[in-house]
Amino acid sequence: MTRTLTILGATGSIGRSTADVVLAQPEAFRVEAVVGGRDAAALAAMARRLGARFAALADERSGGALREALSGTGIGNGAGSSAVLEAVARDADTVLAAISGTAGLAPTHAALKPGRRLALANKESLVCAGAAFMADARRLGVEIMPVDSEHNALDQALAAGRNADVEKAIITATGGPFRTTPREQIAKASAKEASAHPVWSMGSKINIDSATLMNKGLELIEAHHLFDLEADRLDVLVHPEAIVHGLVQWSDGAVTAGLALPDMKVPIANALRNQGRLQMDLPRLDLAAIGRLSFERPDEERFPCLSLAKAALRAGGAMPTILNAANEIAVEAYMAGRVGFYHISEMVEQVCSSFSGRGLAAPATVAEALAIDEETRQAARQLAAAFTETTRL
Ligand code: NAD
Ligand code: MG
């Protein structure tokens, strides 16, 4: 069976790994459409490389550049949000959703069509609007395959039993670049230092989230929605080698784990598989060569973002939506060098507590989630400006 595939975020880190998977077994895929953010040249190159039929750029102003770069190829193209939605609406049995951040929510949600498979990398969709998103996916009969490595491993491990028999589902974290760095030193870290991930090579926003461990917090919320597991059946374990990605502890004491070398092509290939698995010519896991695997508990004192995310998951309602929006603004301010590392968690905490009194319910629709997201961003931007002032003083 050939999969017809549309890739959202085709020029990013996950998008490029997806292209490698597709081209490793070209007879298994036909690429319908590719979507990118701003870079017309990169998107045009990707569309040509994959033989896509249509390419859409989110940024309207770069439409001319895209048209020029694709002229004579016969590849249809367009720019702006309507072009992105056109790409999403085109016939494809599988959509791989890898736009970064909450910007990915609307196009990823629009990709939910009856009978489709959604290979989901954009975790922010589930963190921002998880309940509404999953309800729509169920109603439309969309099969969701997690691309995030931890969830992909959990998905495979969970196949060994029933949800009711899961005592704990555990996702691992490498610990990021500051795993062993003292707090005083982390406090002074620049965005460049925070971006130097020890194992994975990823986009810039998720890199910072990995340094703060917010990424793992977002992943707990993601796991909650994907697998219908409540907060006290979810846990995080630090594992610097990044070989074991997810573990399921069953009611009888048995543990089923998902292992692989840390290469996103492995979970992507699994998320895109047919009845059988794809044949991937990647290095094989050699445990004897690795020799030892190590594990430790996460230090929530040095990485307060993890406990903030856990608190948001436990609080429920709109708290994960608020946490996610506040974090995106805080990370933006940090990447721009306007605030320090621990201002990220301070900002998230302050924004979350300023909204907590309102007891907002979990958004029932994606539109509602986006409205709460926008309101939170405004509050977070004001706070970021105030933090920037005090940082300068
Ligand atoms: P990235 O920054 O490398 O790529 C993002 C992609 O989205 C690019 O193609 C960019 O052009 C596109 N984009 C950005 N804004 C857009 C918009 N408004 N409309 C349309 N396209 C837009 O990010 P990434 O590391 O590839 O991550 C993508 C998603 O996958 C994120 O949600 C991330 O959390 C998730 N994820 C990534 C990894 C990883 O290893 N990189 C692992 C697990 C999950
Ligand atoms: Mg992950």
What DSSP state is assigned to residue 199?
Answer: S
Q: For position 393, what pLDDT does the model report?
A: 60
- Which mutation among 38, 82, 99, 373 tests ligand 1's pocket best, with the greatest number of atoms within 8 A of CB? 99
Distance 149 CA to ligand 2 centre (A): 5
pLDDT category of residue 390 using cuts at 50, 70 and 90: confident
Pair 115, 27 in one domain: yes
Q: How many helices (H) and strands (E) does the chain have?
A: 17, 11
Give the distance from CA 128 to its chain's centroid. Answer: 12
* pLDDT, mean over the chain: 97
Model pTM? 0.97
Pair 300, 384 in one domain: no
Domain-terminating residue out of 130, 146, 162: 146
How many Cα atoms are found within 13 Å in the side-chain-facing hemisphere of 182? 2
Nearest Cα to 150, choosing from 208, 224, 251, 96?
224
- Please tell me the total count of domains within the chain: 3
Pair 136, 168 in one domain: no
Whether 88 has a pLDDT exceeding 80, the answer reads: yes
Return the residue whose CA atom lies nearest to atom 42 of ligand 1. Answer: 148
Residue linked to tokens 């921002």:
128
Pair 140, 188 in one domain: no
**Closest ligand 1 atom number to CA of residue 84:** 20
Using N-to-C axis directions, what is the helix angle for 214-227 and 123-140, rounded to 10°?
A: 10
Residue-range definition of the domain harbouring residue 330: 317-393
> pLDDT for 280-307, tens place per residue?
999 999 999 999 999 999 999 999 999 9
Pair 321, 373 in one domain: yes
- Which mutation among 81, 100, 212 tests ligand 1's pocket best, with the greatest number of atoms within 8 A of CB? 100
> pLDDT for 343-367, tens place per residue?
999 999 999 999 999 999 999 999 9
The rounded distance, in Å, linking the Cα atoms of 108 and 90 is 13
Return the residue whose CA atom lies nearest to atom 40 of ligand 1. Answer: 202
The rounded distance, in Å, linking the Cα atoms of 166 and 164 is 6
Q: Which phi-psi region, left, alpha or beta, contains residue 261 (left: φ > 0; alpha: ψ -120 to 50)?
A: beta
Pair 151, 224 in one domain: yes
Pair 339, 311 in one domain: no
272, part of any domain: no
Domain-terminating residue out of 248, 283, 315: 315
Percent of the chain with pLDDT over 90: 95
> pLDDT for 162-221, tens place per residue?
999 999 999 999 999 999 999 999 999 999 999 998 888 888 899 999 999 999 999 999
302-225-95 Cα angle (round to 5) = 110
Distance 175 CA to ligand 2 centre (A): 12
Ligand 1 pocket, residues with Cβ under 6 angstroms: 9-15, 35-37, 58, 84, 98-100, 103-104, 121-124, 148, 200, 202-203, 206, 264
Alpha helices per DSSP H over the chain: 13-24, 40-50, 63-69, 81-89, 105-110, 123-140, 149-158, 183-187, 191-194, 204-212, 214-227, 265-271, 287-290, 304-315, 319-335, 341-356, 366-392
Whether 97 has a pLDDT exceeding 90, the answer reads: yes
Phi, psi of 304 (to 5 degrees): -65, -20
Distance 29 CA to ligand 2 centre (A): 25
Per-residue pLDDT, averaged over 86-103, amounts to: 97
Q: For position 389, what pLDDT does the model report?
A: 82
Q: For position 1, what pLDDT does the model report?
A: 84
Pair 89, 109 in one domain: yes
Percent of the chain with pLDDT over 70: 99
Across-strand partners of 346? none
Pair 184, 128 in one domain: no
What DSSP state is assigned to residue 251?
Answer: T
- Which mutation among 118, 123, 133, 202 tests ligand 1's pocket best, with the greatest number of atoms within 8 A of CB? 202
The rounded distance, in Å, linking the Cα atoms of 197 and 203 is 11
Per-residue pLDDT, averaged over 97-105, amounts to: 95
> pLDDT for 20-48, tens place per residue?
999 999 999 999 999 999 999 999 999 99
Report the sign of the C-alpha dihedral through residues 191, 197, 200, 206, in that order. Answer: negative
**Closest ligand 1 atom number to CA of residue 264:** 40
284, part of any domain: no
The rounded distance, in Å, linking the Cα atoms of 75 and 53 is 5
Pair 118, 47 in one domain: yes
